[in-house]
């Protein structure tokens, strides 16, 4: 199955286009008496079991590798964060079969180094897709997009405030840099269907213009910025419908608003109810 087919079938299977970011902070989670690895494992098991029982099934999951690597202590030969991420992949495959896992690692190097990062994501972590930075060009992106079984989301117009520092620079062709990147993403995707773009929800007018261009080319979209960053899932869905974007190819991501909406520790007694409520609302807003 190609990555595009996986996107389409999983969205139709669950009836929504939610991507659940899994960027957790251990200090905010329950089970404080446990070690890092077991604490994360227990938390995710309880959360995923509740999601299954409640019929709240997202259309993708996106763990950011930075939230797990920072928990390692390599010089002391201690890798609780990486082991917790490995546990997480196992849990996702068991609880949510056939739902894509996007490894958010924003890689981007050249030649053999880039090939190694692609192998890390697709062969070692066995992720379905990865996020990639485009700055170093085709010899950097190339190793990630060779196999249509896997998806690659290239950073295009990101949701963070500082994204405008470079992405909105006006080129000699009198277009902003992010539009030039969009044209290159279309070229990378030509005849493939598995090369997508990261476009944030926090700049609605820019999102609308980009989505309109991508709709004609069926470019998969990963849209972060909903929830804590201020973007609106309802507005994103309205924009996508207005430009006739093929909705099963989009994934609208929210992270902390779903995994720990209480923001400060310790976790409240009703933490599962809070997570369920936030996820239920987002799934309703992003339903097909």
Has residue 163 got a pLDDT over 80?
no
- Give me the chain's average pLDDT, please: 93
Q: Please give the pLDDT value at position 159.
A: 66
The Cα 61–Cα 42 span in angstroms is 18
Domain count, the chain: 1
Catalytic residue list: 106
DSSP state of 183: H
**Is residue 31 over pLDDT 60?**
yes
The whole domain housing 63 covers 3-285
Residue 180: what pLDDT? 87
Whole-number pLDDT of residue 167: 65
**Percentage of the chain with pLDDT > 90?**
83
Q: 102 or 229: which carries more pLDDT confidence?
A: 102
Task: Kindly tell me if the per-residue pLDDT of 171 is higher than 80.
Answer: no
Asked whether the predicted pLDDT for residue 136 surpasses 80, the reply is yes
What CATH code is carried by the domain that includes residue 77?
3.20.20.70
List, edge to edge, every strand of the sheet that includes 221-223: 60-62, 18-21, 250-254, 221-223, 195-199, 151-157, 129-132, 102-107
């Amino acid at each position: 199955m190609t990555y595009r087919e996986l996107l389409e079938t999983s969205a139709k299977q669950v009836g929504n286009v939610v991507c659940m970011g899994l960027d957790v902070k251990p200090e905010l989670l329950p089970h404080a008496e446990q070690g890092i690895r077991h604490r994360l494992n227990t938390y995710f098991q309880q959360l995923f079991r509740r999601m299954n029982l409640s019929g709240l099934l997202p259309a993708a999951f996106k763990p950011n590798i930075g939230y797990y690597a920072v928990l390692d202590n390599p010089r002391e030969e201690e890798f609780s964060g990486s082991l917790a991420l490995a546990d997480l992949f196992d849990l996702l495959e068991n609880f949510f079969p056939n739902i894509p896992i996007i490894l958010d690692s924003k890689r981007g190097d050249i030649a053999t180094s880039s090939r190694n990062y692609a192998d890390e994501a697709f062969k070692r972590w066995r992720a379905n897709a990865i996020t990639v930075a485009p700055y170093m060009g085709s010899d950097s992106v190339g190793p990630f997009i060779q196999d249509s079984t896997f998806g690659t989301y290239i950073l295009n117009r990101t949701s963070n405030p500082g994204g405008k520092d470079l992405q909105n620079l006006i080129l000699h062709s009198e277009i902003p840099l992010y539009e030039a990147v969009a044209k290159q993403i279309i070229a990378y995707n030509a005849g493939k269907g598995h090369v997508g773009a990261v476009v944030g929800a926090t700049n609605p007018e820019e999102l609308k213009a980009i989505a309109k261009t991508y709709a004609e080319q069926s470019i998969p979209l990963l849209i972060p910025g909903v929830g804590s960053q201020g973007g609106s899932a309802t507005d994103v869905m309205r924009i996508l419908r207005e430009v006739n974007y093929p909705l099963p190819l989009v994934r609208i991501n929210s992270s902390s608003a779903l995994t720990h909406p209480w923001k400060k520790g310790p976790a409240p007694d009703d933490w599962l109810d809070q997570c369920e409520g936030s996820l239920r609302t987002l799934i309703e807003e992003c339903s097909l």
